[in-house]
Structure 1
Amino acid sequence: MKRILITGAAGFLGSHLCDRFIKEGYHVIAMDNLITGDLKNIEHLFKLEQFEYYHHDVTKFVHVPGKLDYILHFASPASPIDYLKIPIQTLKVGALGTHNLLGLAKEKGARVLIASTSEIYGDPLVHPQTEEYYGNVNTIGPRGVYDEAKRFQESITMAYNRFHGVETRIVRIFNTYGPRMRLNDGRVIPAFMGQALRGEDLTVFGDGSQTRSFCYVDDEVEGIYRLLMSDYDLPVNIGNPHEITIRDFAEEIIKLTGTTQKVIYKDLPQDDPMQRQPDISKAKEILGWEPKVGREEGMRKTFEYFKTLSKEDLEKTEHRDFSERNKK
């Protein structure tokens, strides 16, 4: 039985990856310090012999006994509310955490896949974004702690690949959604759905003309799996190229949820990207991958999940108001 270490395993994407590799017959070693993750996402796996969990911060030395075939590094805050609240930890997990896991991969002879992000493109001047685009990032802006952590992460990964011969893979993840997203993480889908479920107006920042491209979690996991198993070691975009404005998306959520709320507008946060759309030509060519789940189907499944959450979960949701943090 092959063994895989998944960091950030109690998070949204990490937990779905745990499910996938259990299904594929792997022994899964899950690691998370729960700074943004939740054990509820993986508690259904604890009874399995081929699953084990370590409560650990990967910015500290990482040791896993026995052989390792693969490592998936998904430990990182991934939403504006999180990385504006814990900026130092965000930088450390991208730098120190990645360094520790690359060292572990070198020691074990394991292949390691690093979770990067479309945020490395910043507020892009090229549309759609290809892997060859270097980005337009404000290094000292409030979002820079996340963007630069991920850019450094890619650099050190390629250094280990070229200098130490470590087998590395880099996935650039675009907006992903689905069950197990946190309502209080500040991202647009859980924020809109949380507001709809609480009977609040939906908050759009700016005039709503900025665009996003949303990929359902099952499609994202399939793309990540195929990339890990491929022989391609340069970054690959994995996301859904179907682009929509935030204003139109808010109207879709109102229609989906059957609410009577209106859309209200607030100032756009600093350095918020105006366009986000992946060019997935490489994923199609190299991995034979493209998304299969349409937004209508994916949003319905996601809303059904959010409707199962408790009233307490809904009430403790943070609002996506970044105005004060953006002034700092």
Structure 2
Amino acid sequence: MLIYVTGAAGFIGSHLVDRLLSLGHRVIGADNLVRGTLDNLQAAFKNENFRFFDLDLTDRASVETILHPVFAAEEKVDTVWHLAANSDIAAGVADPNIDLRDTFMTTFETIALARKFGMHNLAFASTSAVYGESPERLVETLGPLLPISAYGAMKLAGEAIISAAVESFLKQAWIFRFPNVVGSRGTHGVIRDLIDKLLVNRDELEVLGDGEQKKPYLHVADLVDAMIFIWQTAKERRSLYNIGPEDDGAKVSFIAKSIVEASKTNAKLRYTGGDRGWVGDVPRFSYSVEKLAGLGWRPNGGSEAAVRRAIDELIAERGLV
């Protein structure tokens, strides 16, 4: 198949590109390289079935100049995988324009492109942040949804505009609500942040919050497996699935201690206090993946195993040895 991937050079997008190419698909990737890097696509560039375009998806004039001739000359794209978004939740809280532009408008413009060139299937990277802070177990039917970050709000708006597009021209849409995803090529998140702090000071490690924040974590390899499984298996026109581990998560204190142990720095932990790391952070939630299990997919391990694997990968990547 011919596949179009936005956010192709990013953390998750680049892993998805690698997997799609390994399955024999032809992939056209696009990314503005603000958070993604060409290094993430080193393997993909060696594959003749991959083409990449550096552009701002919200700049309609650039998209028309660069991508319209490509899609006009090609056979129809089977599926658009839309992963382009702002991934820094705290930055979006400080300046909501970031998520309006990078999280919602990339979605809006990608749908417009899909409509113009008859791309009838769309897979969308959403997030558990759409649920907001809820005492209830987060199941796909929960509502009303009240996000507490601009990122979550714009992802929820993206889900809504995609749902409307299914009514007008899309044949099928797959919406994946991610947990905290960790692993190699990660650009943000607690593991990357703590490792980067140790690169500056190996004697003391500042940890935001009280360490009791507890969230589900999934390794990026499992995430990509789950997305592709849902894409190949789910038949609903609007296929909405939580993706995550089957446990209740790992504490930030566990992550910090595991990083100190793996890095062999013996750094002293210093917690800043409070029940969350930043404004817009959901300190803990219970995530249901029963619907996905019913479809036939289960993760390889739990949150703590995913965290340990990601720590080893990122310590090696960041040079904390």
Shared fold per TM-score greater than 0.5: yes
Q: 1:132 to 1:164 in 2, by over 3 A?
A: same
- 1:117 — aligned with what? 127
- 1:239 — aligned with what? 244
1:47 partner letter: K
Q: CA deviation at 1:211?
A: 1.0
Q: CA deviation at 1:30?
A: 0.9
Moved more, 20-29 or 163-172: 163-172
Q: CA deviation at 1:244?
A: 2.1
- 1:320 — aligned with what? none
TM-score normalised according to structure 1 size: 0.84
CA contact (8 A) 1:28 1:51 kept: yes
1:101 partner letter: T
- Correspondence for 2:161 among 156, 170, 173: 156
Unaligned runs of 5+ in 2: none
User: Which secondary structure does the structure 1 equivalent of 2:133 belong to?
Assistant: coil
Q: CA deviation at 1:247?
A: 2.2
User: Which secondary structure does the structure 1 equivalent of 2:225 belong to?
Assistant: helix
Q: Supply the distance in 2 between the matched residues of 1:189 and 1:160 (Cα, whole angstroms).
A: 36
- Correspondence for 2:293 among 246, 259, 284: 284
The percentage of aligned residue pairs carrying the same residue is: 29
Q: CA deviation at 1:60?
A: 2.6
Q: CA deviation at 1:296?
A: 5.5
Q: CA deviation at 1:91?
A: 1.2
Q: Supply the distance in 2 between the matched residues of 1:4 and 1:86 (Cα, whole angstroms).
A: 33
- 2:110 — aligned with what? 101
Q: CA deviation at 1:239?
A: 1.2
User: Which secondary structure does the structure 2 equivalent of 1:206 belong to?
Assistant: coil
Q: 1:129 to 1:203 in 2, by over 3 A?
A: farther
Q: Supply the distance in 1 between the matched residues of 2:308 and 2:213 (Cα, whole angstroms).
A: 23
User: Which secondary structure does the structure 1 equivalent of 2:293 belong to?
Assistant: helix
TM-score normalised according to structure 2 size: 0.86
CA contact (8 A) 1:172 1:238 kept: yes
User: Which secondary structure does the structure 2 equivalent of 1:235 belong to?
Assistant: strand
Q: 1:279 to 1:37 in 2, by over 3 A?
A: same
1:259 partner letter: T
1:4 partner letter: I
Q: Supply the distance in 2 between the matched residues of 1:299 and 1:272 (Cα, whole angstroms).
A: 19
Alignment: residue pair count: 301
Whether 1:209 aligns to 2:215 is no
CA contact (8 A) 1:124 1:275 kept: no
Q: Deviations over 1:34-90 (max 9, x none)?
A: 111111100232132100001111113343422201110000111235435664232
Q: CA deviation at 1:297?
A: 4.9
